[in-house]
Amino acid sequence: MKFLLFILVCSLSSIILAQDVKTVSIASGEYPPWTSKDYKDQGFVNHVISEAFRRQSYQVSFIYLAWARSIKEAEKGRFHAASYWACSPERKQSFFCSEPLHTEAYVFFHLKTTQFSGWNTLDDLKGYKIGVTRGYTYTKAFWDSHKNKELDLIVNTTDEISMKMLLKGRLNLMIVSSITGLMILNEKFDPVIAQSVTYNSKPLVNNPAHLLFPKSHTDTKLLLTIFNKGLQSMKDDGTFEKHLDMLITGYYKKVAK
């Protein structure tokens, strides 16, 4: 009898614990090694997000969409959050921004044979066909130069498409974070082809990245507080720094299927 009572108590405890673990749905997109459904732990950023919520007894479900669509769907409140974005003044109108997850340097990649000695102002980029990705932030001045037809930007849906166009000579430059650009070259192309590409070290922008919580969702302020608390605990105990080391040493790679 005591044994049966013990089993019953254990079963009830398991049910209660299972109910205590809530699920957060987050819209994301493909941007390896930062975010990707095909990479270890879904990439560095999404790994950090999952761990921060796990410490607060929440689990995360990432739904991968095209970047422009992912933030629109999140803005409507169809997801608890959007991973991951710069906290621009425009986005602050519809979202609350988490504490920074990391900072990315967006640089210009080009073929070594391209005559590109560098740049100081946006005027120095005139005359080049530049590959960019739809939905990315970059800078307002950069996008405004495109709207005013001062810069020739070729807008693609992914960085990989821009890289392919660059290698085929259909672009002069493409802008992408240095780590992502190098990973695309190393994973998608023959080493000989990859070695034909280089990048200019001067960044267009260093963008702090955040998890965005839509103001339209009823649970937003609670989840924002919970996430920031979990993220801070990772920074306090050294786990966040450990994840950064894993990023640098190549832990976040595509998982073989």
CB 27 within 8 A of CB 79: yes
Residue 215 in any domain: the answer is yes
DSSP secondary structure letter of residue 252: S
> What is the number of alpha carbons within 13 Å of residue 109 lying toward its C-beta?
30
Residue 8 in any domain: the answer is no
Residues 82 and 147 reside in one and the same domain: no
Query: What pLDDT is recorded for position 219?
Result: 93
Report how far apart, in Å, the C-alpha atoms of 40 and of each of 43, 185, 215, 245 are: 6, 19, 31, 15
C-alpha–C-alpha distance, residues 193 and 151, integer Å: 27
* CATH number of the structural domain spanning residue 63: 3.40.190.10
Q: Where are the alpha helices (DSSP H) in the chain?
A: 2-20, 43-54, 67-75, 89-92, 140-147, 159-167, 178-188, 191-194, 220-236, 239-248
Residues 58 and 94 reside in one and the same domain: yes
Domain range spanning residue 110?
A: 105-206
Residues 214 and 146 reside in one and the same domain: no
Residue 10 in any domain: the answer is no
Tens-digit pLDDT profile for the chain (257 aa)? 444 433 433 443 333 333 445 999 999 999 888 999 999 999 999 999 999 999 999 999 999 999 999 999 999 999 999 999 999 899 999 999 999 998 889 999 999 999 998 999 999 999 999 999 998 888 999 999 999 999 999 999 999 999 999 999 999 999 999 888 988 898 889 999 999 999 999 999 998 999 999 999 999 999 999 999 999 999 999 999 999 889 877 899 999 87
Residues 40 and 133 reside in one and the same domain: no
Q: Which residues pair with 96 in a beta bridge?
A: 213
Residue 87 in any domain: the answer is yes
C-alpha–C-alpha distance, residues 157 and 134, integer Å: 5
Query: What pLDDT is recorded for position 76?
Result: 96
Residues 32 and 113 reside in one and the same domain: no
Query: What pLDDT is recorded for position 137?
Result: 81
User: How many distinct structural domains can be found in the chain?
Assistant: 2
Q: Which residues pair with 166 in a beta bridge?
A: none
Query: What pLDDT is recorded for position 201?
Result: 92
Residues 214 and 96 reside in one and the same domain: yes
